[in-house]
């Protein structure tokens, strides 16, 4: 509750089990929404990384290339059927 009051939420810690579940869902998707969900989770993880970087002394240019690569990998993994889905 306090985190909501102050406008900042603490995301759940990502675990290796969550990685396994995401890969399983990604490989066995039954609906286009399964794929969409998987991409959304991956993008949210990148957003969390950006949030965590804000307090570090490491130059942001160091991280930008890695984060951009991750985003491009997600973009490249979007299926043509999802790209055409305009619902």
In the chain, the number of structural domains is: 1
Q: Is residue 68 in a domain?
A: yes
Q: Is residue 57 in a domain?
A: yes
Q: Is residue 23 in a domain?
A: no
Q: Is residue 44 in a domain?
A: yes
> pTM, whole model, 2 decimals?
0.75
Q: Is residue 65 in a domain?
A: yes
Q: How far apart are CA 53 and CA 63, in angstroms?
A: 8
Q: Is residue 61 in a domain?
A: yes
Q: First vs last Cα of the chain: how many Å apart? A: 35
Q: Is 38 exposed, middle or buried (0-12, 13-18, 19+ CB in 10 A)?
A: buried
Q: Is residue 47 in a domain?
A: yes
Eight-class DSSP state of 11: P
Please report, for residues 11, 59, 78, the alpha-carbon distance to residue 34 in angstroms, rounded to integers and kept in the order given: 21, 36, 12
**pLDDT tens for the 87 residues of the chain, in order:** 455 556 666 667 888 999 999 999 999 988 889 999 999 999 999 988 888 777 677 777 778 888 899 999 999 999 988 888 765
Question: Domain limits at 46?
Answer: 32-82
């Amino acid at each position: 509750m306090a985190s909501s009051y102050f406008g900042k939420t603490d995301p759940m810690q990502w675990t290796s089990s969550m990685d396994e579940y995401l890969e399983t869902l990604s490989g066995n998707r039954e609906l286009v929404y399964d794929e969409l969900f998987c991409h959304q989770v991956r993008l949210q993880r990148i957003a969390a990384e950006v949030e965590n970087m804000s307090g570090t002394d490491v130059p942001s240019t160091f991280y930008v290339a890695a984060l951009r690569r991750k985003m491009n990998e997600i973009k490249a993994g979007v299926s043509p059927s999802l790209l055409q889905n305009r619902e």
